[in-house]
A and B are shown apart, each in its own frame.
Chain A
Amino acid sequence: MPDSSPPLSGLRIAVRASGVAAAYAARLLSTMGAEAILLEPAEGSPLRCEPPFLPGSEVSALFAYLAAGMRSAVVPDGGFGGLLSEADVFIDDTPLAEREALGLDEATVARRHPDLIHVSVLPFGAHGPKAHWKGTDITVLHASGEGYLLPNGLSCELFPGRPPVKVYGHFAELQGSIAAALGALSALWVRPEAGGQYVDVASQDAALAVGAFAIQRLGDGSVEHRVERSFRYGGVIPCADGYVELLTLEQRQWHGLVELLGKPDWSQDPALEDSLERSRQGPVINRHIREWASSRKVEDIVREGQKLSVPLAKYYTPAEVVRDPHEQVRGLFQPVETGAGVFDMLVSPFQFDGAPFALRGGPPALGDYTGGAAR
């Protein structure tokens, strides 16, 4: 039988986070069983004041999501030593210029806590000519490539003159989080041989990494641009009551699409059996698809299309995601006390051994951790 304990049981994380990247890195590890202590100043992490807020309250929905399951220790500046001595991993987004005075610079932490995995998460990293640059999600996104490349497809057709538009929320910062979690677990893996070490993560690097395809295409001699990187056919398709996403990459999927469309005359052109020819005729094909979809409902198109193995998806609103029967079966959400009521909260985007993880609870009250060295 597989062990049912969360995979990171026994691991202790200390996190000092004024931004999303460091906080979500700890959240990822915490959800998998690590004990995460949020080190906060007396007034609390700035994330507690970050909108959006849950209705009728001053509870930050962002903080609630990021800090769910953590404990909070109020720690005065310079008083981090005790909690760091108890931790396996320290995740920190303190600006570089402030670290030495707080005893949180790489050398001081390494000297005082030689077995600690010290993970620095900053917009542009802790090393390099821009290490001191200030960054937010939108500026990091534009420093790493994807910012310039959105929108594409239908939106780009409709609004060709508008500025690029960002991915919703904290996309680039969250890439820093995921990379930081990966770095922490990798450094921990080799800790028995190497001891503690410093992991330097930049949200810019991480957002660039997930946008690696643009760099790959550059090497092929092609510079990606939001106008040209639309799919030749498919993409965002307006329907009678919303939008679907359509993408057929394989021959059998094309055949399924033709069947879904009712095998119209234009689709029976033998030349369209060739995928390269379909690419060339993409705009014409898309006109036909859009015309067909414009009088049909999203649910009908997706249901019939998926039966034919045509990759089609409805553009779900957040409320639809939360209510989605598929996600209810999988346990993606768990009711937690947020301080503004008990609401369903996303737990984790992956599962072990066929079961979802469980959050320990909602966001911590300021200073609710009084154990160990924080006493």
Chain B
Amino acid sequence: MNPLPGIRIADFTVHNAGPFCTPLLSQLGAEVVKIESAMRPDAFRKPHPVYGRMGPATFDQVASTKLSVRINLKKPEGVALAKRVVAVSDVAAESFRPGVIGRLGLGYEDLKAVKRDIIMLAVSSSGQSGPDRHFAGYAPLFGAWGGLGEMTGYADGPPIEMRHVMDHTVGMNSAVAVMAALHRRRATGEGALVDVSAREVASSLLGEALLLAAAGEEPHRMGNAHPRMAPHGVYPAAGEDRWLSIAVDGEAERQALREITGSADLSDEALSVWTRTQDANAAAECLQAAGIAAHASWTTPEIAADPHLRERHAIVEVAEPDGKRRAAVGVPMRLSKGPEIGIHRGTPKLGEHEDYVYGELLGMGREERTALEEAEVIY
């Protein structure tokens, strides 16, 4: 059985970090109502020129498995309608800059007034408090503020900008926090304001380096090197832009590697001489058979086609509205009593589920809905 049946989330999140939380929960059985409007459609419904996408996305991972309704939050009637959705929800999720949702009249106190035990998830770049709380930010900035960007990169090069993995790490942390809040509500009957700071999520990924810094050390980026394992890195394989990642742990593994490569020299340069002659996938299998951690550096098409990932439902097939099939990423777990978890609905059309949400859940008649549509509240 799905683990989260009966949990409903009013989803006001935008961009990627917040929106990645709610589809994880929806794939686990929660019902997520995505709230947007024709005036401010979600980013995936528009071109994204900075990323080079010159039109709307035909599929959006973070919008899949969600229901869509239109609400114009610029109008007081829209705010009132949003509160009605919240009143039948367990969780309200938002990812505006701190203060924005409150100015809309949908802050935590406003929502508690309509649902006493509501759990409000607020995802932001720097959290809801502190001198930098107003800072605008996206994934690369989270990584920069949090220290992860500075610590990533070649030892003699500049820092590296984190991309969507940073956003989505924030989203997955947010899902953990929401689940914890639900457990507390079950135990105490109390809701919660859950404040997730994206830059702090980035920092949480380098806790040991921060501890070293607190102790007076100066940790620095070290490329692909490891503080204990050697050889450890990414090595050229046969073919253009083919690479093999290898992590050798201990003397027994080093000896096994010497036997495989036929060389006593395990310097990166010497190992590269061997790897350049090897097919990356075949070499990884060979090294694994000898007890050495290794894997080819996979391109996205290789990942999408991998039988292991498909058997685990980490990669699944989804259908677009025109019937075209494509690969998507499933919720990253398998449950012995929940084999049905995962993506069960594609990307919704704007307002696709208003009959269910407004009609069935809120009990609104056709006349009331039409009036709100004409007033550009449902818009």
Contact = CB atoms under 8 A, between A and B. Distances in A.
A and B are partners in one complex rather than unrelated chains: yes
Contacts of B338: 187, 190, 194, 197
Given A138-B245, A330-B197, A346-B203, A179 B160 contact: no
Interface string B191-233: 1111111001101111111111111111101111011110011
B327 interface: yes
Interface string B8-52: 000000001000100010001000000000000001000111111
Interface stretch (B67-75, B169-177, B348-356, B371-379): B169-177
A349 B308 contact: no
B315 A52 contact: no
B87 interface: no
Contacts, number: 535
A90 interface: no
A158 B168 contact: no
A313 interface: yes
B294 interface: yes
B326 interface: yes
A128 interface: yes
B193 A218 contact: no
A136 interface: yes
Contacts of B161: 152-153, 231, 235-236, 245
Contact count band on A? 35 or more
Main secondary structure of the interface of B (DSSP, over half): mixed
Contact of A190 (B3, B128, B180): B3
A321 B203 contact: yes
Interface string A332-371: 1100001011011110111111100000000000000000
Nearest to B198: A349
B252 interface: no
B91 interface: no
A319 B331 CA distance: 35
A199 to B, nearest CB: 6
A125, A188, A320 — most chain B CB neighbours (10 Å):
A125
Q: Which of B180, B181, B334 has the most CB of A within 10 A?
A: B180
A278 interface: yes
A213 to B, nearest CB: 4
B329 A212 contact: yes
Given A193-B1, A321-B210, A352 B195 contact: yes
B298 A148 contact: yes
B157 A158 contact: yes
B158 A238 contact: yes
Given A169-B205, A232-B52, A329-B131, A179 B172 contact: yes
Contacts of B204: 174, 346, 348-349
Contact of B333 (A179, A189, A225): A179
Contacts of B52: 228, 232, 279
A322 B213 contact: yes
A167 B160 CA distance: 9
Given A144-B298, A244-B144, 19 more contacts: A7-B180, A10-B187, A65-B211, A129-B308, A135-B293, A139-B295, A153-B161, A155-B158, A162-B154, A175-B172, A182-B176, A186-B4, A212-B61, A214-B303, A215-B303, A318-B150, A326-B133, A350-B197, A352-B195
B335 A187 contact: yes
8 contacts: A3-B184, A151-B154, A189-B186, A194-B3, A201-B332, A208-B329, A313-B137, A340-B215
Given A279-B50, A350-B197, A150 B180 contact: no
Contacts of B85: none
A255 to B, nearest CB: 13
Most chain A CB inside 10 Å of its own CB: which residue of B54, B224, B233: B224
Which of B47, B54, B172, B307 has the most C-beta atoms of chain A within 10 angstroms of its own C-beta?
A: B172
Interface stretch (A79-87, A263-271, A303-311): A303-311
A229 interface: yes
